[in-house]
Amino acid sequence: MEACFRTAKNELGMDHFEVRGWRCVHRHYYVTQLSFLFSSRLRQAWDDLRQEDPLQKLTIEQVREAVNVYLSNRDLLPSPRKKRYQKAIDDIRYHQQRNAQATKSHTKTRRKLFEKLGFDVDRIKSCQPKEKTS
């Protein structure tokens, strides 16, 4: 839950409001949550298409940035619009590769730490891959 609120505050502007009434606070909260749902659904749809490499999943920040690039450049002529879209795609790919490398590194470091502390990492329930049930 805390990670969801942190993402909503940092990426979607849940903390960017200055209102006086509770209706305005609720309205801002609902719009932020709708944005979060929209971004999450886009992310989920993209991740479902790219099942072959689970480390290259989009983040909410990357979805937000892609939507911003699309909306801010949709009125341009096709050639400059295509260049800006390609730059956004290249940036996302760069960050995906960087995130994948960081995930591998952090996982390796964390496993070593747990093994040093005497834990059998392969027996920790949350670290085991989920079995598919038919």
Q: What was the pLDDT predicted at 61?
A: 81
User: Which tokens hold the place of 37?
Assistant: 């749902």
What three-state secondary structure class fits 120? Answer: coil
- State the Cα–Cα distance between residues 101 and 98, nearest whole angstrom: 5
Q: Which residue has the tokens 């480390």?
A: 55
Confidence of residue 134 (pLDDT cuts 50, 70, 90): very low
Task: Kindly report, residue by residue over 2-49, the tens digit of the pLDDT.
Answer: 776 677 677 777 677 777 787 887 787 778 778 888 887 887 787 776
Task: Kindly report, residue by residue over 42-91, the tens digit of the pLDDT.
Answer: 877 877 766 666 556 777 788 888 888 888 898 989 999 999 999 998 99
Residue 26: give the domain boundaries: 2-118
User: Which tokens hold the place of 23?
Assistant: 């209706």
| CA neighbours closer than 13 Å in the CB half-sphere of residue 133 | 1
Q: Which residue has the higher pLDDT, 128 or 33?
A: 33
Judge if pTM exceeds 0.85.
no
CA proximity to 51, closest of 132, 133, 108: 132
Number of structural domains found in the chain: 1
